Copies of this chain bind each other. A is one copy, B any other.
Amino acid sequence: MGSALSSTAPAPGASDGSSAAATPAFSPLYQQIKALLLHSLQNGEWKPGEPIPSEVELAARFRVSQGTVRKAIDELAADNLLRRRQGKGTFVATHAEQHVSYRFLRLHPDRGNPDADGPAERQILSCQRLRAPADVAVALGLRAGDTAVQVLRVLAFQGRPTILEQIWLPGTPFKGLTLEVLTQDQGPMYALFESQFGLSMVRAEEKIKAVAADPEAAERLGVAPGTPLLSVERIAYTYHDTPMELRRGLYRTDHHHYRNHLS
């Protein structure tokens, strides 16, 4: 960034040619606007599902042309942080009212359209506060010995248990997450994170392997021990690439497959 641009006393410096600062790394105005919007999103100035101010309003606030805020918003929309709706406004993306199915779940039924299965049947097995194991601490940016929340759950589709997940969350931001809260909640877990903890999962990375079901996983998923399963390790990030969740899943793929688009 390295710019003096602020929301109270903005001084663009691109239209008047007075950019005196000898910034070695050139940063376009729209990138600075994007960063400001990002901070407003992170600060919760606009909450998931809510509209952000209109383009003209933002242009006035930042003393910038509409085209410039437009380009900033365009990039945020391309990253799925915002959602544009012509005639209505621009809204903060949310996991709550996602068009179809779960936004980060790439598992689809082999036959039928993506959500022919109907909603997943969820069963929380446990929710404990523990000292984070070393690998979990590293993944979540915690110090050794910091407390973390561990959740175990099973997702079933059409009565067939299909996904066994072990979820790790940093203890401090998720203070108050209990088995009761999880059990009583309907809808995607990430929507709960937004509404109850103000944490938006914005992107994620997954590492996938093929593994053999161990006896416990086999029983949870109703398959024979040794059955090949997809091992999906996901790290989910909030704004500004802060890791906020480590999720280890085992997926049955006898009636489902993991779908991916390459380009």
Binding site for B on A (CB under 8 A): 78-80, 103-104, 106, 202-212, 226, 228-230, 234, 251, 253, 257-263
Q: Copies of this chain, how many?
A: 2
What CA separation (Å) do A229 and B227 show in the bound complex? 11
12 contacts between A and B (CB under 8 A): A78-B78, A103-B262, A202-B263, A204-B263, A206-B260, A206-B262, A207-B259, A208-B258, A210-B229, A210-B251, A211-B253, A228-B228
What CA separation (Å) do A11 and B208 show in the bound complex? 51
What CA separation (Å) do A196 and B211 show in the bound complex? 39
Closest Cβ neighbor of A207 among chain B residues: B257
Given A104-B262, A106-B260, A228-B210 contact (CB < 8 Å): yes
Closest Cβ neighbor of A205 among chain B residues: B261
**Chain A interface SS verdict (over half):** strand
The answer on a CB contact under 8 Å between B207 and A106 is no
What CA separation (Å) do A259 and B260 show in the bound complex? 10
Give the Cβ gap from A161 to chain B, nearest Cβ, in Å.
16
Residues in chain B near residue A207, CB distance under 8 A: 257-259
What CA separation (Å) do A203 and B262 show in the bound complex? 6
Residues in chain B near residue A258, CB distance under 8 A: 207-209
Residues in chain B near residue A211, CB distance under 8 A: 210, 228, 253
Given A228-B228, A228-B229, A229-B228, A208-B260 contact (CB < 8 Å): yes
